[in-house]
Each structure stands twice: as structure tokens, then as C-alpha cells.
Structure 1
């Protein structure tokens, strides 16, 4: 793109130095058409190129140019109202050195003149059958009647041109369209004797995914002037091809679309994180999570007649309790059941029962070990509440049992304080009381009544 603009500026600089600038006016049917210019080198000639018609070459006499300025009038422009055409101005230095006019439409006659507007016949024909696309091969074929060699021109309204000469004896030519997509041009063919093969319609270069043929010398539009009733000077204003502009616009739109999409995605993620933080994990009712603050189970929360033991974590699921140590498997009777502590994070000073340093809550005591009431309470205080439902055995006093007369009676066991603890080699963490002497101990039963 930078190279194209530099080329356009260079062409404009050359034209400014040479001073060859042409002024165009809007044409009208059968009216005189005046061409004015500055600079250039004689001889001069103008080429009138109607769209899909026969071009006409007009030689301008040297007398029309004086003191660096020239003026020439074409008598009765022979084109019907509504016809489109472009005009090129050339001098001795080359084709179209004075510029190419915009695509102009012939207006109605302002002077009421009439003339012959019949199209001239072409001297030979050619065919344009392939699609015109950027950097694709474009075939100009079947120019069988030319006087060899044939010369092919591509004229860009209000812009530049290209010129190629087919090999001598060839009747077709494959041209690689090194013109930016979106550019409009007109194809015309002449032969070695200057005979006219006619001009094509206005063709627009199509898009393709190939830009390998494009270079700084690729022809393009050089101006955006539109003919009107007033005079228009042909200049070499730098401009960007339509295809390049469209590509740039699409690229910018795609960039902004990506940015907007990413922004919306980030906002959505942020909103979801906020929603998740407000509800908190494991709180299906939208409440705040109570991490590290399980509620202590009160004494009245424990029902000894219920098969399901009280849980220290009523708000936690079974999966959440899986991280705590398993219960010790100790079964206790209702006479020694202590209230559940309910809080595994409570310090020893907050416990409702005194803990002994030698008691490990994760060790299951041997069945034959004898523990005092204080030991059992200390052990139960540290037993994890998460265990299967316990079974309770209710001991009835022997005096309260009234069996049937003819049945066998299974009396409850009798207890005696004369029985000393078994010596199992277990050293209790406290000083055991001395066993009473045999002379002082007396046998007794829970009740003075005996069964029958």
C-alpha cells in the first residue's frame, strides 16, 4: 500500500514538472467538446473510448498548442445521450501522459444540434470469456484478423492504464490481472496498423486470496473526480483501491467483534463467580457457609429412645463427614451416656468433660480392660459421634420383677463391691483405691427382696 501511494505521488510529480494537465468537461450529444491542457510535448492526440463501442483516435494539430497551453474543440461529439465514455490525452512522450478522464455520461444537447451518432464498426473482433479476478489469469482470445502484433490496453477511469503486446502471430493472450480487486477498467485492443478492435464494457476486478502478483507498479485509480457542467482538471490524486479499503474495513470490524466477544465472556465469568461467592458452597438455601463453626448439640437434642444417634454436624452430608476419624466402636449403656460435644474444633478447656492426657480417642480399648466412671466419661467425651445406632440394655431391679408362677425366672445379675479389678497388666492413669479387707466387706444384692 505504501509503495502504491509513492508511485502515485511520483506520477503526479512528473506531471507537475512536465506541466501536462488536462481539463475535462461534461459531454453532451452532438455538441462541441472542448479540451484544454497545459504543458506536454507536441504532437498531441486524444482517444475517445465509449463503453462497449469503437474507440476513436483524434489527432490534434500542433497549432492548437501555444505558450505552454493548448485548446482543441471536437466538432459535434458523435455519441448518443446516455452513452458512457472516457477520454485519454497523450503526447509524444507516451500514451495517456496527459491523464485519463473519469467515466462520463453523455448528456442531452444544449444547442439543439443533430449529428450522426451511429456507431462505427470494428476492424476486427476478440473475445473476453474468463472471469476477471485479482492475480488470476485473464484471457483475451480469438483476435484472428489483426495485423500482427496485437496491442492490449486496460484503461482505468480517472486512473492509470496498462499496455501489453501479444507475441507476433498469437491470436490470444493470457494476462495475469495485477490490478487491485474492486478496480474498474475497460479493455480495448488495437493492431500494428492502428486499427480498432473495439472496447469492452466496464469490468470490475474480482476478489481472490492471491496477492502474489501485486507490486508498486500495479495500476490503480489515481483520482475520484466526477464530471459536471463545470470544468474538471485531471489530476493524479493518490487514492487507495476499493478492494484494499474493503479489506481494511473488514479487518477492523473483525478485530472489534473479537474484542467485544472477549469482553462479554469475561463479564459473564465474573458475574458467575460473584453469584457463586454469594450463595457459597453446600448451602442449597442460599445461606452463608458455616465453615469451622458447627453448632454444639444441646442436651435436649439427644433422645435416648431414638434409634438414630445425635449428630454433631446436622448440616453436613455423609460425604462431608468422610474426612473425620471413624468412631471407636465402643458401646455404652444409658447410665453412663454423656451429652454429645458436637464440636471437633473445641479446645480442651471448652470441653464439658475432663480429658486425660493418656487417653487416645482413636484407640479402641480392649474388652477386658477395667475403667472407672471417670475414665469412661473421659473416653466418651473424645469418642467421635459418627457411629452406627447403639443398642441399650435396660437392667431392671430384681424386686420389680414379678414372674409368672409356673415359668422359669431369669433374675438380673447381682453386683458386689468385694470383687477386685482383674490384673491384666494395664496400668491405669490414676492411683487406684486400695481394695477393702475381706473382713470389712459384706455381700449385698440390689434389693432386699428375693425372687420366688
Structure 2
């Protein structure tokens, strides 16, 4: 991998991180339930943070089946906050044990504040806000084709009766606990038996719970809703999916989860947990939730910076590995001198050299040499020596060994300093006990003269 490609990857990663930080900044404002929703009770929401642009609005959607013997009495509620207010409250006409999903938006667009997870309505003594036998009704209705099917990356048609709608209908997509968005409209056409509508390719992953909501000029939800789970289809097409495809949020859903343990003691938890806490309702000032929002934003930024540092370290390691591979692939010049030549050792004529140099044997002329054929087992601990004369340099030769022993006077140097390594001859015997060999006479070996006396005379003459 070349350094240029590494730089391009690093630049692309930084662009992605910048976009993520921008999204965190846009979604900086949050909201929460002021208390657990109860049957015919007060439904209250409070906005925290200064990044939201009023007016705010909340869309409350029925979720799941009705607990009243499948009689659906719940309507979709689209409520706008008053003026620049950051708080709204109204009566909730939903029965006990039913569920709802809330989506908060501001002037920037639908779902900018996030979507809550399904929240269960707590019980209360008041049931005057709905008729358990009268189903909810809407101003107009829509349908889809194929009927009751929502397939990943497969075209579908959304259509309606234009005579009942006011203005151009609009449609919203809601993923409980995840992302909510406006359905993009293609060219509106009229098809026989399918009415007026448009085609849409859902870029939703299979297994995602999805709610489709229709509305018109009178508000969102005036055409009702349709809920389903996205299927994968026979071919499992994924060409429309990307990292930006709507999905469920990995972290805590917007608004937290409101629960209740009894009719009179509602509790609230900011994150989904199976336990309950004591009632603690935030004030309208929103200082507690505001500080929590700041902490969440700071945590997100810190995590992003940690990712950037990790990627930079990985890039540095890749560059170092690339440099090492280049050094390994570089050809070696065998003709280049790897080290300077060694200087020749200075040898003085008067000093003996440490390197071995062949010399003629320095043995006196009249010296007799005996060689004995001995075995290692027969060798005595100390061999006898034969001396022919007492000279300055006395040499002794044993069986298979030659040594030089010198006794020098003051200031006199001799060739006896050169020591020839001795050799011991060992003859291996056959198996069985060894018999002592016959006594043999010594063998005389003649050695040519070494001219030692002439050399000593020549040296004495030069002095």
C-alpha cells in the first residue's frame, strides 16, 4: 500500500468523523416524559438544550394491538407546542396496558429530536376519555401494493383516494426506538384499480419494525397508520442499503422509558432497565437533564477523538511496515564495501610474530633423535628426556611429541619461543585383551641439518 493511498484513507476517515460530529451537534437537544403516561392522565413532555429551533411538536402513535378486545380506540395525536415553549401537556386518551411511541420534531424537520421506544400506558381510575366500544376513525385512508408486505429494497406503491384528501398527502416513516423520517415521494400517478399514488423503494433492513403514517394538510396521522416488520424477500436484495439507511438506534432511545408500578406511584427512568426507581420528576428549568445532555455530547466527542487517535496509530504502523517491506525488497550490492579494510599489522623485525610461519627445524647438528612406537595405555606419566649437550636452547623430542625448552640469558632472544603443537599417536586395539608387544630396538630417523650455528654466527656478526 502506497503512502498516497494511506493519506486518502485518512482523509476519508476524517470526513466521516466530521459528518458524525455535525450530526451530534444537530441532535444536541433532547426531550423526556415528565411523568409516566397513564390512562386519561396528563401526557407531558419537556425539551432540554438550546440547539432546538421552535416551534416544537410531538407525534404520539399507537403501537401494538389494542387491549380492548381488538377494538382500536386510539387515534394518532399530532400536537404542536405553544409559541417558543419547550414544554407541552395534554390528556392522553389511551387505555391501560396499551403502548405508544412518541416522535419529537422542531423547525428543522420531522424526527429531529428522536423517537422513543414503545412505552406502556399505566392504569388509573379515570376512563372517561374514550369509548371502549367505539373504534377510532380517520379523515381518509391509504393502502400499499403489494398488500401487507414491506420487502427490503423492493419497490412498493403507496396510493389513496384523492377526493378525500386535502392538498397533497404526505407520509412519514417511524422506527420505534430508532430513526424517523419523511417518505420521499416519486412522481404521483394514477393507476387503474390502484388509485393515485407513487412508488417507493424502502431502504430498510430486513427484521426492522416499521410504522407508515399518512397525513395531509390537516396534519400528520389524518390518514391513519400501518405497522409491519420488513422482510428480506426471496432474493434478499441489498443494493439499496448503506450506512445511512434508517435503523434502530444502538443506544438509549429518545425520551427514555417511563414505567409505573402502581396506579398512584408513577416512576421514571432515563434508560431502559428492568428495575424501578423512586419518583423524581424533573423541573421545567431542565438543569438536571441539561447537564446529562452535555455529558452525553462530551462522551460522544471523546469517543470520536479516541477513534481518530486509534486510526492515526494504525496508519503509522502501516507506514512503518511498508518501509520495512521496501528495505527487504531492496537489492544488495555485493561489490559495495561493507566495512573499511583492516590495517595491516605492524611487525617489527626484532619481535616474533604471532602468526604461524614455516621455519626449518632448529635442532643441533649433533643431536640424536629417538622415536618410540608407544601406545596410549603404555605411555608413562613422565617421559624420559635425552639431552646431547648443554646449550642455550635445549630441545627434547619424545615419542610423537616435539617440545622446545629454552633457558636464555639476559637480553638474549631465541627461536625457542616458537612452539610447535605436539601430536599424540593413539592406536586403537581390536576387541579382546591386549598383549604386550615384543621389545623392539629404537629406530633412527635422520633429519637434515638446521644450520642453527651458521644463523647464530651471522646474527652475532651483524651485531
| TM-score interval, normalised by the smaller of the two chains | 0.3 to 0.5
Higher gyration radius (CA): 1
Higher strand share: 2
TM-score, with normalisation over the residues of structure 1?
Answer: 0.44
TM-score, with normalisation over the residues of structure 2?
Answer: 0.43
